[in-house]
Chains A and B, each alone.
Chain A
Amino acid sequence: MSTNPKVELTLPVMENMELAATKTAEVVAKSMGLDEMKTAEINMALIEACINAFEHSKSKENIYITYSIDGDTLTIKVGDKGEGFDSEVVAIPNIDEKINSEHKRGWGLQLMKELMDTVEFESSEAGTTVTMTKNK
């Protein structure tokens, strides 16, 4: 394997296309020897990142994903060219508040943070990139 291998994927905004991202993640995770649970956590976080990119970006352009392996760390970046958002103002969801609320969604960021080792957002009017890492 080459040093710090990187895989790049471009996805159109199409229903269930996030599953294509998980298929690639599975291959990358397997090459690193990540266990089944960590691979499933990566997949779940990646699904949420892709859905956010598809939906919240209000963009019909492609989204871009890179998977980079650096030793025992997998770094995944999911980028879109949407309007951007401020992750700091996104409320932490709470099931007690969601019940009897009109807005039951909004769990994606919380799931990503819980399932990955680190999650960072860079957002501007030109788009958003979420960078997530998972250690072996």
Chain B
Amino acid sequence: MADFDLKVTENDGVILVTTNGYLNNYGGEQVASLCLQKISEGKRKFLLNLANTDMVNSIGVSILIEVIEELQGTSGTIAFCNLAPIVEKTFNIMGISKYAKIYANEEEAMAGLA
């Protein structure tokens, strides 16, 4: 269901994924598919800007664990920025923040990933 879309850019070796809409199973699969493809192309740094995603569900987020898992095997990094407070709390409860850095905004994230 198309309540979700994303935009991809690359900046200083960082794949920036900007999401828009509800991160459910469909959204999670879109993000994971893109990231896994980029990893297979040799990309190792990912930043997900969730400024326009104020609602997630655990299925969508759990699909992102696949990306974390894949990056672990390649010494890659994934980070998130512009999280709505409830999304950040959800990430904390699920432990995502243990494996991925969370930044306040894109500027701080890009500096952190440099």
Residues of A in contact with B (beta carbons under 8 Å apart): 15-16, 18-19, 22, 37, 40-41, 43-44, 47-48, 51, 93-96, 98-100, 104-108, 110-111, 114-115
Distance in Å: Cβ of B2 to nearest Cβ of chain A: 10
Can you list 8 residue pairs at the A/B interface with Cβ under 8 Å? A40-B86, A41-B89, A95-B98, A99-B65, A99-B72, A104-B65, A104-B66, A114-B93
B57 at the interface (CB under 8 A from A): yes
- Total A-B pairs, Cβ < 8 A: 73
Chain A residue with the shortest CB-CB distance to B69? A99
B107 at the interface (CB under 8 A from A): no
Contacts of A93 in B (CB 8 A): 94
Secondary structure of the A side of the interface?
helix
Interchain CB contact under 8 A, A16 and B84: no
Contacts of A108 in B (CB 8 A): 58
Contacts of A40 in B (CB 8 A): 54, 84-86
Given A18-B57, A111-B90, residue A37 in contact with residue B85 (CB < 8 A): yes
Contacts of B96 in A (CB 8 A): 95
Contacts of A111 in B (CB 8 A): 58, 90, 93-94
Distance in Å: Cβ of A50 to nearest Cβ of chain B: 9
Interchain CB contact under 8 A, B55 and A95: no
Chain B residue with the shortest CB-CB distance to A97? B95
CA distance A95 to B63 in the complex (A): 12
Provide the B74-114 mask, 1 if CB < 8 A to any CB of A, else 0: 00000000001110011001111011000000000000000
Provide the B40-73 mask, 1 if CB < 8 A to any CB of A, else 0: 0000000000000011111101110110110010
- Given contacts A37-B85, A93-B94, A100-B69, could you give 19 more A-B pairs where the C-beta distance is less than 8 Å? A15-B1, A16-B1, A40-B86, A44-B89, A47-B57, A51-B59, A95-B65, A95-B94, A95-B95, A95-B96, A99-B69, A99-B72, A104-B65, A106-B62, A107-B58, A107-B62, A108-B58, A111-B58, A111-B90
Contacts of A105 in B (CB 8 A): 58-59, 62
Which of A22, A43, A94 is within 8 Å of B95, CB to CB?
A94
Interchain CB contact under 8 A, B99 and A95: yes
